[in-house]
Amino acid sequence: MYQPPPPLASDGATPGNQIVVIAPHFCAPYPVDLTISKKLLSIGEGNFGVFDINGNIIFKVKGKLLSIRDRRVLVDAAGVPLVSLQQKIVTCHRRWQVYRGDSSDSKDLLFSVKKSKLLQLKTSLHVFLASNTSENVCDFKIKGSFFERSCAIYAGDSNNIIAQMRKKHTVQSIVLDQDTYSITVYPNVDYAFIVALCVVLNEINMDRNDED
């Protein structure tokens, strides 16, 4: 029987457990604050940069803009692919599938993300791990307002928050017309996984044709 990830305590701490989706070394025993900036990197590197509190880049998103599936690849600072993200072509709920490394093979599927409802005014996405084949209950959910860059990520279908997004206003973001926002990832939560969710969240909400 499928078992969802363990829920977090209300203060964000885990009772001796980690939430790992991409790799355990992306889990820290303390909150991790990240900044995501768009329209920052060169065209060849994509338009997403993820930075730590010291301004060091730790992730980049490379896009294959001419691919039929709008494929993206999340890489580390050294350019090593962590996960590849691509939109499922035949779907009614804007489903994105995320695979390990640079793969698109079904055996390497880690998780998928889709809109919880076909039409929605506020952001509401459900996340299903690859092992959750029935998809009766989501493993994670994202709720809030992407327009205001104010969203929270929850463990399962619960009120236990594992990460929060908020708009970040800086002089650099205003002058350079960057879309900059910060993410706080709670302790013992895979922050590479959270970044991947933010990439999918952006793709789903920024799609020009948002009617299906």
CATH for 60: 2.40.160.200
Asked if residue 109 belongs to a domain, the reply is yes
The C-alpha angle 60, 163, 3, rounded to 5 degrees, equals 105
pLDDT of residue 90: 59
Q: Please report which confidence band the pLDDT of residue 195 belongs to, taking 50, 70 and 90 as the band edges.
A: very high
Would you say how long the chain is, in residues?
212
Residue 69 confidence (pLDDT):
53
Query: Higher confidence at residue 41 or residue 194?
Result: 194
pLDDT at 48: 80
Please state the domain count of the chain: 1
Q: Is residue 18 included in any domain, yes or no? A: no
CA-CA distances (angstroms) from residue 124 to 12, 33, 113? 21, 23, 10
- Structural domain that includes position 79: 34-208
Determine, yes or no, domain membership for 11: no
Q: CA-CA distance, 80 to 144, in Å (whole number)?
A: 31
Average pLDDT, the chain: 79
Of these ranges, 13-22, 36-45, 140-149, the one predicted with the greatest mean pLDDT is 140-149
Is residue 17 domain-resident?
A: no
In a domain, 16, yes or no: no
Q: Of residues 113 and 146, which shows the higher confidence score? A: 113
| 3-state class percentages of the chain: helix first, strand second, coil last, to nearest 5 | 15, 35, 50
101-124 pLDDT, tens digit per residue, is 999 899 999 999 998 766 556 778
**Of 22, 185, 189, 206, nearest in space to 98 by CA:** 22
Q: Is residue 132 part of a domain?
A: yes
Burial call 165-188: b when 16+ CB within 10 Å, e when fewer: beebeeeebeeeebbbbbbbbbbb
